[in-house]
Amino acid sequence: MAQDASRGVNESFAAALRLHQAGHLGEAEGLYRQILQTDPRHSDALHFLGVLAHQTGRNEFAAELIGKAIAQNGRVPVFHNNLGNVFKAQGKLEAAAASYGRALGQKPDYAAAYYNLGLVLQAQDKLEEAAASYTRAIACQPNYADAHGNLGNILQAQGKLEAAVACYRRALRHRPDYAEAHGNLGNVLKAQGRLDEALASYGRALNLKPNYAEAHNNLGILLLEQGRIDEAAASYAKALACKPDYAEAHNNLGNALKEQGRAAEAAASFERALALEPDYAEARMGLAIAAIPIFAATVEESAGATGKFMRSVDELTAWSAANPGKLGRSVGGNQPFYLAYRPGDVGGLLSRYGDLVCAAAAIHRPQQAHRNRTVQPRDRIRMVIVSGQVRQHPVWEVILRGIIAHRDRRRVEIFLYHTGSIVDDETVWARSQVDRFVQGPKPAKAWLDEIAQDRPDVMFYPEVGMDPVSCALAALRLAPLQVAGWGHPVTTGLPTMDLFLSGELLEGRGADRHYREKLVRLPGTGVCTELTPAPPQPWAGPVRQPGTVRFALCQQPIKFDPADDALFARIAKAAGPCEFWLASPQKLHWATAKLHARLAAALRAEGLDPAAYLRVTAWLPRGQFAGFLDEMDIYLDCPAFSGYTTARQAVHRGLPIVTLEGDFLRQRLAAGLLRQIGITDGVASDRDEYVDIAVRWARERRRSGQWAARRASIRRAAPAADGNRSAVNALERTLIDAAIARAADPATRP
């Protein structure tokens, strides 16, 4: 009889296990319970009923059942492993690790237990130990794709990108349909700047798993970095369709909507992210920055932006005080870059923001404070330059290239960190010219490790505002002397920044009060550019109507403030037949239509038909842009935010420039350039003079001989825009003297 009963229990258990494995959980549970009524000490039934309870989310019951199974038979490794899984699901990580350890004590080659222990150690941020555990799992089971994949995740987090790529490829060799490995491989390839390969990896992941929310989100991040804003927004929306409570995707959609000029929708996305995760610092920062309009539709919106952002900074400051240490991880990801495009003195507000983010960054990375001061004096000062624009880009061409080409190598050594992923011929040239070159992208910690190794005397940021890594690093004190350039022509507001390098021709009297840093006025415009002529290519524009004057308004549309729209309408009304040519950029292309609509309204207010005056051209490659400038007659510099690169291109084509020299650096760039070449009759001191010069020149243009002479004289003067080596010499002297003074100051000694 006992044998018959035992046989019946075993048959029932086998049937229950088959039902369990087939996914018929309710029927399996019923059979397990029947077995335990007959034999309460049946350890396998206790164990598998516990596993089933874990699968259905009843973890307290699961722990109780598997614990009883272990009490009946504690020498079964799988019991301990599965109890560890239950503890892990409950967040009891120490208990889980202990259970996995017991399983491994009984079965040292238990690959699954090593893998699960690795998951726990990874969740505890014990990355080295987790990596070792995954490595042991792979040693026990070389084709363990999940272990290869998770080891890749750890290596990626540690910045060991090549090793991570190798892990993901091994995982995919063992399991080609492993969607998560394809997605994570895409993340590493993106971090390496291999963007086409990253796109392909995300595509493969999504082909295998169309509802893979994380892959949709990460694809969106890549697309946004490439300036493909509409596609990025669509990708984030797909992620949210798969996973509506995905806080990171809501935050990222907010960033994309902001770049699309949809500020209210962006704010709503940030708020949804915060509703899901109230401590989500990146979303809090994004919501604060979204208060600054990228493009202002009205005078009132433009003028009110500073007050709106001030209130946002106050709210962010209060939240950070209530949640110390949380804001620091978001520093750099979102910056108040567009505040500089709003009128007035924004220095005080940027300083308030700077105090907030620098304090948050110091709490987040306290070990970085002052750790990189130089101990031993050097024959040459060591300057680390940090930029995401070491390529054909205005920051590189105007601010950086001349420094690298013409510095005195006997006095200054340059370590150049290119934080971006885009590489071109200029990047290759830069690599050959500096003492050390470090190519990004890298996570912030990896850059901090580079700086700790290099121990610079000077950290130089040619711009603070465009590049997230530069902003994150600039918020920390990483060298005795820290310096900003005017690649973003406004104070950084950061208490960690000591000097702001500008030009004597770019700053008015009393300009020191516009900066938190000490203002340094280098000779001329403060930069040493080099003439890199691009042979002009014919511009495929329409045939000009006789007697029509063409005005170029060819800067980024977001630079034009609504308060200045009336100036262009006044010029149109007084100048006779004329056209105003706008340029539509690839990024923020939507702003062109908004600017067109604003200017059209200003023209109608003067009784003029906008269709007779407004024209738009696509953003042009350099050679075609030169041809475009040749076909223009007068360059109207933007009064609110002057252009330097475009003005420099214009003078080399002999194009007369009208500019309104304002109070702030960002309003004086073209004027400074014109003063440097000695052609100043287009520099207006007030709004009426700006209009008068434009109208007078339009009339002069119709007298072709006189106008040809004017353009020829500008071409003859244009070479003086370049080759300002005195600015490089003065920069070296300034930095050497300041670095020596810092080294002698007890407050800056280690």
pLDDT of 135-190, one tens digit each? 999 999 999 999 999 999 999 988 888 999 999 999 999 999 999 999 999 999 99
Q: What angle do CA 347, 285, 364 make, to 5 degrees?
A: 95
Strands (E), 419-528: 436-439, 458-461, 481-484, 499-503, 518-522
Q: How many other β-carbons are positioned within 10 Å of the β-carbon of residue 608?
A: 15
Q: How confident is the model at residue 366 (pLDDT cuts 50, 70, 90)?
A: confident
Ordered strands of the 412-418 beta sheet: 436-439, 412-418, 381-387, 458-461, 481-484, 499-503, 518-522
What pLDDT sits at residue 319? 95
- Contact indicator for 306, 344 with CB cutoff of 8 Å: yes
Helix (H, G, I), strand (E, B) or coil at 502: strand
**For residue 251, what are its two tokens?**
């935050």
Q: How many other β-carbons are positioned within 10 Å of the β-carbon of residue 465?
A: 21
Position 487, amino acid: G
Residue with tokens 């287009």: 682
> Is the pLDDT confidence value at 748 over 60?
no
* Positive or negative: CA dihedral 591, 592, 594, 598: positive
Nearest to 330 by CA among 339, 322, 320: 320
pLDDT of 245-265, one tens digit each? 999 999 999 999 999 999 999
**For residue 136, what are its two tokens?**
């042991």
CA distance 426 to 210: 40
Nearest to 638 by CA among 610, 600, 664: 664
Q: How confident is the model at residue 710 (pLDDT cuts 50, 70, 90)?
A: very high
CA distance 111 to 144: 8
pLDDT of 687-708, one tens digit each? 999 999 999 999 999 886 789 9
> Is the pLDDT confidence value at 299 over 90?
yes
Residue with tokens 């995954």: 134
Helix (H, G, I), strand (E, B) or coil at 496: coil
pLDDT of 419-476, one tens digit each? 988 889 999 999 999 999 999 888 788 899 999 999 999 999 999 988 999 999 999 9
CA distance 281 to 284: 5
Residue with tokens 């009336």: 566
Helix (H, G, I), strand (E, B) or coil at 355: helix
> Is the pLDDT confidence value at 7 over 80?
no
Q: How many other β-carbons are positioned within 10 Å of the β-carbon of residue 26?
A: 9
Residue with tokens 């750790």: 371
CATH class of this structure's domain 367-522: alpha beta
Nearest to 568 by CA among 493, 637, 661, 662: 637
In this chain, the answer to whether the domains covering 367-522 and 549-721 adopt an identical fold is yes
Which ranges constitute the DSSP H helices of 385-498? 394, 401-406, 425-433, 444-454, 468-474
Residue with tokens 């007030």: 686
Nearest to 86 by CA among 108, 115, 117, 55: 55
CA dihedral in degrees (90, 94, 100, 106; nearest 10)?
Answer: -140
Residue with tokens 């509506």: 244
DSSP string of 286-332, one letter each residue = HHHHTTS-SS-SSHHHHHHHHHHHHHHHHHHHHHHHHSTTSGGGGTT
Q: Is 478 exposed, middle or buried (0-12, 13-18, 19+ CB in 10 A)?
A: buried
- Contact indicator for 33, 49 with CB cutoff of 8 Å: yes
CA distance 567 to 561: 11
What pLDDT sits at residue 370? 47
Nearest to 388 by CA among 479, 451, 461: 461
Q: How many other β-carbons are positioned within 10 Å of the β-carbon of residue 530?
A: 11
Q: What are phi and psi of 658, to 5 degrees?
A: -105, 125
> Is the pLDDT confidence value at 374 over 80?
no
What pLDDT sits at residue 377? 59
Ordered strands of the 657-660 beta sheet: 614-618, 578-584, 549-553, 634-636, 657-660, 683-684
What pLDDT sits at residue 586? 84
- Contact indicator for 240, 253 with CB cutoff of 8 Å: yes
- Please report, for residues 92, 121, 133, the alpha-carbon distance to residue 87 in angstroms, rounded to integers and kept in the order given: 5, 13, 18
Q: What are phi and psi of 393, to 5 degrees?
A: -160, 145
CA distance 74 to 57: 24
> Is the pLDDT confidence value at 534 over 80?
no
CATH class of this structure's domain 549-721: alpha beta
**Percentage of residues in the chain with pLDDT exceeding 90?**
82
DSSP string of 653-679, one letter each residue = TT--EEEE--SSGGGSHHHHHHHHHT-
CA distance 75 to 129: 26
CA distance 268 to 251: 10
> Is the pLDDT confidence value at 749 over 50?
no
> Is the pLDDT confidence value at 490 over 90?
yes
| Average pLDDT score over residue span 199-212 | 97
What pLDDT sits at residue 446? 85
> Is the pLDDT confidence value at 2 over 80?
no
- 3-class DSSP string for 621-637: CHHHHHHHHHHCCEEEC
| Average pLDDT score over residue span 274-286 | 95
| Through-space distance between the first and last CA atoms of the chain, rounded to whole angstroms | 85
**For residue 716, what are its two tokens?**
């003859």
Q: Which residues make Cβ contacts (< 8 Å) with residue 483, sequence separation at least 6?
A: 458, 459, 460, 461, 497, 498, 499, 500, 501, 735
pLDDT of 28-72, one tens digit each? 889 989 988 988 989 998 999 989 999 999 999 999 999 999 998
Provide the b/e sequence for 256-281 (b: ≥16 CB within 10 Å).
bbbbbbbbebbbbbbbbbbebeeebb
Residue with tokens 């340094």: 520
CA distance 597 to 620: 22
Domain ranges for the chain: 279-364, 367-522, 549-721
What pLDDT sits at residue 211? 97
| Average pLDDT score over residue span 67-80 | 91
Half-sphere exposure of 472 (CA within 13 A, CB side): 24
Q: Please list the residues that pair with 583 across neighbouring strands.
A: 617
- Mean pLDDT taken over the chain: 93
| Average pLDDT score over residue span 662-680 | 98
Q: Which residues make Cβ contacts (< 8 Å) with residue 200, sequence separation at least 6?
A: 186
CA distance 640 to 299: 12
